[in-house]
Structure 1
Amino acid sequence: MIDSAAGALSRRIMGVETEYGISCTTADGGRIIPDELARQMFRPVVEEHSSSNIFTPSAARLYLDVGSHPEWATAECRSITQLLNHERSGDRVIDDLALRVESELGTGARVYVFKNNVDSIGNSYGCHENYLVRRELSLKKLGLALVPFLITRQLIAGAGKIYRPFPGSPSERYGTGFCVSQRADHVWEGVSSATTRSRPMINTRDEPHADSERFRRLHVIVGDSSMAEPTFALKIGSALLVLEMIEAGFPLPEIELANDAAAIRDIARDHRGRTELPLAGGDTVTALDLQDRYCSAAEKWLGVREPADGSTPPEELTRIVGLWRRMITALDTGDFSAVDTEIDWVIKRKLITRYQDRLGSGLEHPKLGQIDLAYHDIRPGRGLYYALMDRGMIARWTTDDAITAAMDTPPQDTRAALRGRFLDHARAVGAPVTVDWMRLRVNRPEPQVVQLGDPFASEDARVDDLIAYMDAHAAEYGPTS
């Protein structure tokens, strides 16, 4: 039965957390180890805030994660393009930190920041998606319904990479080749409350960052970081639509795979989606067929879906499903020309194949590894992704102006607007404050705390009172710099 409240289901809060890889070469050809480089990058943050874990003027979270990975967690967003703009603004903020270190080190130093998901020795770092769902939904059941889609989503939205096996790795049996996904070899089960020990595709730890009686947070940790803007839109948009259909009871493939981890690894090495996936009941289905079924369902869903104000516009979702269908067709026919400026792994494989032909070599050639990595360099004017985009070889979804605006301006239709306003005022009067996703606290002279349990609320009289409290005590905070 289809939920009659389908319109309410499209009212969604989303966010993305991106971890970055970093490296540095000095003028004399030396290197700075990642731990020291990370400390240097975050030194101005710590000097200003006495912490390497802060909320920025755009209401995003910037922090230094385990393993010396800078991380950017977007503010709460309502639509896909809004989320894209705020995710891309994180690239700019992180690169600004890298540029400052280069300036300090002097001429010839190079700091590299890579938006990818695996380093040269096989360690993986993530790109996590967050979707707000209703509390009454069972997160485990929801997760199990999503897993077959997520396992096969890499075909339409993977980042791609040259895979070289590490001795003892579960994927050693595959040998060197091109994978459509960077994260596929680094997840171990479908649904779990763990994050690093077993690294599931969906994390079920109950941490909603909202009113826990009303909301849950669906935490997806299987996806690749996206460089191409259309790839990001398709990755998020397809997941959003499948989630909506599950919540609404809209007809979807009822699939239980026999082995989630084995399936995702096999699919990563099949550029046509022909991999036969064993089902729990004994039959098989191909990865391409599964994605085709989800795409067909999404095409029908768009015909009955009732959009909510502030959510992703129907015409944008139509554009996403159109790209999804073109990618399905490309996988089916083997002709990727209709998507080779929009999907990361297709763009990258085309580029690597061209260089392979020039070099007359296999994928083991070190030049090809350099190209693979350089694609993920986030520095405009240096990174290979930006060079291709400047030549019209990678399509856009948003604009530079929209990304620039998102660096300092929170989404104005979510709780982020309140956090951003509070932080702006605290900086203006020099008030000592503490902020997290749900709480705003003025620390002096007497602690004043407001808890924001509704992530959709962009106005709140209690926040007005906090700001008035800061104004009333501004003289006690001292001059601001």
Structure 2
Amino acid sequence: MTRLGRVCGLETEYGVTSVYVSEDSGSEEPPLDVEAAVKEIFASTERAVRVPHGFLSNGARLYIDIGEHPEYAGPECLNLADVVAQDLAGDAIIQDLVDIANNNLRNRGIRIHVLKTNADSWGNSFGCHENYQYGAHTPISLPAFVSFLAARQILCGSGCIDEEGNYCFSARARYITEATSADPTHHKAFINTKEEPHADASRWRRLHVTCADSAMLPVTVALRTFLADRFLRLLEEGTGEEDLFVLDDPVAAVKTWNYGPNVRVSARRGDRPVEVSCPELLRESVNLCPAGDDEFGLGDVVARGLAALTEGDLTALSGELDWSLKYQLLSHVSAGEANFAGVRARRAELAFHDLSRQYGLRERLLKSRSVKPLVDENCIARAKVIPPTDTRALLRGKVVEACDLADRRASIGWSYVRLDDPPSPQIDLLNPLENESAEISQLLAKIEKMERE
């Protein structure tokens, strides 16, 4: 088991579209606008009424974000297997709702698709946000971390076809405008600096990373978190800072590396001006990071991934990293074409991100063993309903489950729970590492008694 050096949670935003089931419909316009399609997806659940804020029994939060995007915010995790399982559980929970909606829409000849992608046809960008807890009094060098994220963005990107049909490594990289920002709605930054610790602010802070691509492949999900956690451990130790790279312009660097990872850009290493490529920055940074558990062999993935970037071998990790598999797929369907601007490539890209078990590609690739799974189907099924057992998500999830069974209303947040029916005192959950609570046990006993009455 790969235990992380901190509590971590992922948030994933999903794109939604709809199509006519029959190709003889005569219309190229979607039958439902995004708002109507999202409404259909959530029509089968009354959870938003019973449990404000959409918290689930697995400790996660499911809701509709700004811009009418479904969003799954996974529970707090302390080990890497839980991070992966919860990310895939979010996909499965969303697709379960879509399947119900599509069954209800069948008579109207309409089908909804949910895409775990990073941009839509209207120029909106969305993706994966990462949350990492660290000590309130621990200094973290944001310039060094942002520089590391700029390079990680390429290795852990989902791959993308740009407007001209050219291939790049990251969809989100094209939209990043700031190194840091407290306004994620208007600024696309590597890090959101708004202070929202969701915990005891005297003990913890929350690092909110907003630049990542949503990923379809389990190894990409694991690698992204693995690298961030290891580099944060390095920053927390505060040793060797003179050897860390700080890019002069991380926004310009990530846009340059998105098309050419081996282009050298200006940076500083300690007091020395230098030039560095994406693989060089990652390789040197990873070599400085403290060692730790690596149950999934991600250190080897890093080495092979950096070699592939350096050598320009975009298919070398097609069973593990999104950008590599997508490039292989697009190259196959676009054989003989000058680039990926054609209709076949565009459709294949959508199918790559489609959560549908019938129309998407991931399920077929997993079953054919073309993609490395990391966690099995039983782990994902468990993660859909049961929270991680070593964080406060366990307590939150138990309260949600008890309220569901007793048909009671509760107000629930990341750092508190409160039974509203009947009105009861709020219980604060200010320690993300707390998985036992006498107050929660008493509340659960109270709710269970109501269920029997």
* TM-score, normalization by structure 1: 0.87
Q: 1:350-389 residue pairs with structure 2 within 5 A?
A: 350-357=328-335, 359-389=336-366
Instruction: Give the aligned partner of residue 43 of structure 2.
Output: 43
Q: 1:26-425 residue pairs with structure 2 within 5 A?
A: 26-27=20-21, 29=25, 31-46=31-46, 49=49, 53-106=53-106, 108-138=109-139, 141-164=140-163, 175-251=164-240, 253-270=243-260, 273-279=261-267, 283-298=274-289, 301-302=290-291, 314-316=293-295, 319-335=297-313, 338-357=316-335, 359-425=336-402
What secondary structure is seen at the aligned counterpart in 1 of 2:402?
A: helix
- 1:23 maps to 2:44: no
Is contact 2:44-2:100 (8 Å) kept? no
From 405, 414, 425, give the equivalent of 1:437: 414
What secondary structure is seen at the aligned counterpart in 1 of 2:344?
A: helix
Is contact 1:415-1:455 (8 Å) kept? yes
What secondary structure is seen at the aligned counterpart in 1 of 2:211?
A: coil
Post-superposition offset of 1:471: 4.3
For 1:32-54, what per-residue CA distance to the aligned partner results, in whole angstroms no more than 9, with x for missing partners? 00011111211233476267831
Is contact 2:399-2:444 (8 Å) kept? yes
> Which residue identity is paired with 2:278?
A
Is contact 2:150-2:254 (8 Å) kept? yes
Q: How far apart, in 1, do the equivalents of 2:21 and 2:191 lie?
A: 43
Q: How far apart, in 2, do the equivalents of 1:234 and 1:146 lie?
A: 16
What secondary structure is seen at the aligned counterpart in 1 of 2:161?
A: strand
Aligned in 2, Cα 1:155/1:464: closer, same or farther, shift over 3 Å?
Answer: same
Q: How far apart, in 1, do the equivalents of 2:381 and 2:450 lie?
A: 33
> Which residue identity is paired with 1:295?
V
Q: How far apart, in 1, do the equivalents of 2:436 and 2:53 lie?
A: 25
Q: How far apart, in 1, do the equivalents of 2:244 and 2:166 lie?
A: 32
Q: How far apart, in 1, do the equivalents of 2:273 and 2:142 lie?
A: 22
For 1:45-74, what per-residue CA distance to the aligned partner results, in whole angstroms no more than 9, with x for missing partners? 347626783111111000001111000000
Q: How far apart, in 1, do the equivalents of 2:381 and 2:448 lie?
A: 30
How many aligned residue pairs are there? 440
Once the two structures are overlaid, the 10-residue window that deviates more, 180-189 or 255-264, is: 255-264
Is contact 1:352-1:368 (8 Å) kept? yes
> Which residue identity is paired with 2:258?
A
What secondary structure is seen at the aligned counterpart in 2 of 1:207?
A: coil
Post-superposition offset of 1:329: 1.6
Is contact 1:238-1:321 (8 Å) kept? no
Post-superposition offset of 1:156: 1.5
Is contact 1:42-1:52 (8 Å) kept? no
What secondary structure is seen at the aligned counterpart in 1 of 2:411?
A: strand
Post-superposition offset of 1:104: 0.9
Q: How far apart, in 1, do the equivalents of 2:52 and 2:435 lie?
A: 27
Aligned in 2, Cα 1:474/1:401: closer, same or farther, shift over 3 Å?
Answer: closer
For 1:372-416, what per-residue CA distance to the aligned partner results, in whole angstroms no more than 9, with x for missing partners? 111000112320233333333222211111101110111111101
Q: How far apart, in 2, do the equivalents of 1:190 and 1:19 lie?
A: 21
What secondary structure is seen at the aligned counterpart in 2 of 1:454?
A: coil
> Which residue identity is paired with 2:16?
I
Is contact 1:55-1:62 (8 Å) kept? yes
Is contact 1:85-1:403 (8 Å) kept? yes
Aligned in 2, Cα 1:127/1:468: closer, same or farther, shift over 3 Å?
Answer: same
Q: How far apart, in 2, do the equivalents of 1:468 and 1:177 lie?
A: 59
Post-superposition offset of 1:428: 2.1
For 1:191-250, what per-residue CA distance to the aligned partner results, in whole angstroms no more than 9, with x for missing partners? 222212222101111101111110000100111111111111111101111111111124
Is contact 1:375-1:383 (8 Å) kept? yes
Q: How far apart, in 2, do the equivalents of 1:325 and 1:225 lie?
A: 22
Query: Structure 2: which 5+ residue stretches go unaligned?
Result: none
Instruction: Give the aligned partner of residue 6 of structure 1.
Output: none
What secondary structure is seen at the aligned counterpart in 1 of 2:245?
A: coil
Q: How far apart, in 2, do the equivalents of 1:228 and 1:475 lie?
A: 44
Post-superposition offset of 1:437: 0.7
* TM-score, normalization by structure 2: 0.92
Aligned in 2, Cα 1:10/1:393: closer, same or farther, shift over 3 Å?
Answer: closer
What secondary structure is seen at the aligned counterpart in 2 of 1:70?
A: strand
What secondary structure is seen at the aligned counterpart in 1 of 2:244?
A: coil
Aligned in 2, Cα 1:472/1:116: closer, same or farther, shift over 3 Å?
Answer: same
Aligned in 2, Cα 1:338/1:268: closer, same or farther, shift over 3 Å?
Answer: closer
Q: How far apart, in 2, do the equivalents of 1:53 and 1:438 lie?
A: 13
Is contact 1:163-1:176 (8 Å) kept? yes
For 1:310-339, what per-residue CA distance to the aligned partner results, in whole angstroms no more than 9, with x for missing partners? xxxx1426x111111111122223345542
What secondary structure is seen at the aligned counterpart in 2 of 1:221?
A: strand
Is contact 2:5-2:229 (8 Å) kept? no
> Which residue identity is paired with 2:123?
G
